[in-house]
Amino acid sequence: MVQETLEEPTYSVKLTDVAVAKVSDLLKAETPGLALRISVQPGGCSGMRYQLYFTDEYAKVLTKMLAEREDEGFAEEDDEETAAQRAAMAREKESVVWFDRFAVVIDKKSGPYLSGAEIDYADTLMKSGFTIDNPNAQGSCGCGDSFS
């Protein structure tokens, strides 16, 4: 895991090896540059709800950041769209955490709720999906979809 700092503060989450493999597998069929966005929104029975989804909001700059990471820092000058996306990420204080060949993006409002959380993927007879073990949650509902 490598954390990119666009502007302070940055927040980080952990993904288990199983979760990284599942996200990587899901992204194989998608357009390059997609990122996993993890956020917290009001709602659910306990007051706050996790949201995990793929976004192409910063596809150009994240694709370039990945190339820069793989080329050990070699960077060409940003084109206009890439520069605009990089500036938007900095302005919005987005945190970017790299796993394998994909990025997880966390917005500044969700960061304090998610900092230190561990995301896993379970696939059993009874349930399949991502689970979040969050040290910041004081309680959660029975279904595990929301927290307080």
> Looking at residue 105, what is its pLDDT?
94
Instruction: Find the DSSP H helices in the chain.
Output: 17-27, 59-70, 80-91, 111-114
> Looking at residue 47, what is its pLDDT?
74
> Looking at residue 17, what is its pLDDT?
96
Per-residue pLDDT tens digits for 53-106: 999 999 998 988 888 877 766 667 888 998 899 899 988 888 999 998 899 999
Q: In this structure, are residues 24 and 124 in contact, taking their beta carbons and an 8 Å threshold?
A: no
Query: Across-strand partners of 39?
Result: 51
> Looking at residue 75, what is its pLDDT?
66
> Looking at residue 21, what is its pLDDT?
95
Q: In this structure, are residues 146 and 45 in contact, taking their beta carbons and an 8 Å threshold?
A: yes
Residue 43 CB neighbour total at 10 angstroms: 13
Residues with Cβ within 8 Å of 87's Cβ and at least 6 positions away in sequence, in order, are: none
